[in-house]
Amino acid sequence: MPSSAPAPHALTDRLALVSWYRRNRERSRRLFDMIDPAAYYTRPIALRNPIVFYEGHLPAFSVIALLKRGLGAPGVDERMEKLFERGIDPDSIDAAVPRSGADTAWPSRDAVLDYGARADAAIVDALATAAFDLDGATHRAMRQGEAIFTALEHEAMHQETLLYMWHRLPFAQKLPPEPPRYELGPAPTPSRVAVAAGTATLGAARGSIPFGWDNEYGEQRDAVGAFEIDVHSVTNAAFLEFVEAGGYANRDLWSPGGWEWIGADQVAHPAFWLRDQGRWFWRGLFEPLPLPESWPVYVSYEEAAAFARWQGRRLPTEAEYHRAAFGTPSGAERAFPWGDDLPDATRGNFDFASWDPVPAGARPSGASAWGVHDLVGNGWEWTTSVFGPLPGFQPMTSYPEYSADFFDGQHYVMKGASPATARELVRRSFRNWFRPNYPYVYAKFRTVTAG
Ligand code: AVJ
Ligand code: FE
């Protein structure tokens, strides 16, 4: 099969690398410009670092991965690189303290921006002129350009982190770059389609794609039994029935961990919903809007699983997702649900095409061979598969902790893409993962039953 990612930027095309880096930096800058500077030292999500961390983390990470590990060059500012190296996903607020530094004396914004400018200059210079050890003979992290892609894709990934963090800020602390526009419409009638038994290929063989994160290698063929799957992601309209039927109060529908979580955090509806005077609203990025019935509901894994159980159904496995998204009745597998054409805005709601979802099924030219809509775009898709290595897993040299730190049985795989997923990350083998009670990501779901 053709490689699922286009060779986006040949490693010999230095101008293309520089322009990818600059496009990334420009987009990050626009995202930081959307928020009130008064929010800069706040922590919109308790488990994550304050906003200041991310503005330093982006350039610091690129310096560490590309300049230091990839090129064996010196860093730009040792103190900044130590402060901003890491800080993700601690499992409790207590655990967050040592990593994310409640006590950290964060630098001034000017100092962070100054560091970013110095880092950018050094990185652009390296991308334009440094000798790349693409065989990895001296600098293993540079093999096949790994460290370059690591830096570039990492920034794109955190642009999604930023947006879902901004989502939690009070509306008064955000300024839309242009007046928000919404795509609305009636919710599709729920329907299901049969997917025949067959083989799903997870991951990618080394050398078959220009770059993959370590958890994307190697290739694993899973036999998948016949199943029936929702044609559309579960919408707000459908989820409202679950809420109104008392789904959040019915212990039988919840896993022990899920029940404990909704009890402890007093969760009674999706984090993307607001209730005002007895009416439901969607928490848009910039303003609330009356709950759009046709949009996919964004929920945690636990909420998705409880809804599925309520329907006598379940979430798909990672292999079932692959089969529904990339499999075909003939047995051939595709690079993307719609075929082998490169991703563009007609195929799905991704690459920052919108700040919010669009109606389920609104991008029919992105449907899979089975007629399943929105498997890539409009929100990540939860799977029941615990995040783990594929056969032959090797931690990547440019960022060895990237995945291995999360092979702890506490994270579930999400597939596809959200509106805030950069186009460069849209590839078949890409895997995302989160804890089952993390309700802030742009993640939707659909349900299956054995056929
Ligand atoms: C792959 C999205 C789960 O944001 O926690 C960014 C990506 N890792 N910096 C995260 C990541 C280190 C990671 N996810
Ligand atoms: Fe990071």
Q: Which of 47, 54, 58, 157 to mutate to test the pocket of ligand 1 (most atoms within 8 A of CB)?
A: 157
Q: Which ligand is nearest to the CA of 157?
A: 1
C-alpha of 83 from chain center: 24
Bridge partners of 195?
Answer: 227
Nearest ligand 1 atom, CA 399:
12
Q: Are the beta carbons of 124 and 18 closer than 8 angstroms? A: yes
Q: Which of 53, 88, 165 to mutate to test the pocket of ligand 1 (most atoms within 8 A of CB)?
A: 88
Q: Are the beta carbons of 145 and 8 closer than 8 angstroms? A: no
Establish whether residue 400 lines the binding site of ligand 1, counting it when its CB lies within 6 angstroms of any ligand atom. Answer: no
pLDDT tens digits in sequence order for the chain, 451 residues long: 333 344 445 788 999 999 999 999 999 999 999 999 999 999 999 988 999 999 999 999 999 999 999 999 999 999 999 999 986 444 444 444 444 555 678 999 999 999 999 999 999 999 999 999 999 999 999 999 999 999 999 999 999 999 999 999 999 999 999 999 999 999 999 999 999 999 999 999 999 999 999 999 999 999 999 999 999 999 999 999 999 999 999 999 999 999 999 999 999 999 999 999 999 999 999 999 999 999 999 999 999 999 999 999 999 999 999 999 999 999 999 999 999 999 999 999 999 999 999 999 999 999 999 999 999 999 999 999 999 999 999 999 999 999 999 999 999 999 999 999 999 999 999 999 999 999 999 999 999 999 8
CA dihedral 229, 423, 385, 327 (to 10 degrees): 40
- What span, in angstroms and rounded, lies between the C-alpha atoms of 432 and 411? 10
CB atoms within 10 A of CB 14: 16
CA 100–ligand 2 middle distance (angstroms): 12
Establish whether residue 344 lines the binding site of ligand 1, counting it when its CB lies within 6 angstroms of any ligand atom. Answer: no
3-state SS class at 448: strand
Q: Are the beta carbons of 346 and 353 closer than 8 angstroms? A: no
Establish whether residue 157 lines the binding site of ligand 1, counting it when its CB lies within 6 angstroms of any ligand atom. Answer: yes
Establish whether residue 88 lines the binding site of ligand 1, counting it when its CB lies within 6 angstroms of any ligand atom. Answer: yes
pLDDT for res 9:
55
Q: Which ligand is nearest to the CA of 213?
A: 1
pLDDT for res 92:
42
Helix, strand, coil share of the chain (percent; to 5): 35, 15, 50
Bridge partners of 433?
Answer: 413
Establish whether residue 158 lines the binding site of ligand 1, counting it when its CB lies within 6 angstroms of any ligand atom. Answer: yes
- What span, in angstroms and rounded, lies between the C-alpha atoms of 420 and 441? 10
Distances (CA, A) of 344 to 336, 347, 368, 377, 410: 11, 6, 15, 11, 33
- What span, in angstroms and rounded, lies between the C-alpha atoms of 394 and 380? 25
pLDDT for res 103:
63
Sheet holding 273-276, edge to edge: 273-276, 279-283, 288-290
What is the Cβ-side half-sphere exposure of residue 100, based on CA atoms within 13 angstroms? 25
C-alpha of 9 from chain center: 22
Q: Which of 161, 213, 406 to mutate to test the pocket of ligand 1 (most atoms within 8 A of CB)?
A: 161
pLDDT for res 47:
84
Residue type, 235: T
* Residues listed for the chain: 451
> Six-digit token pair at 301?
């894994």
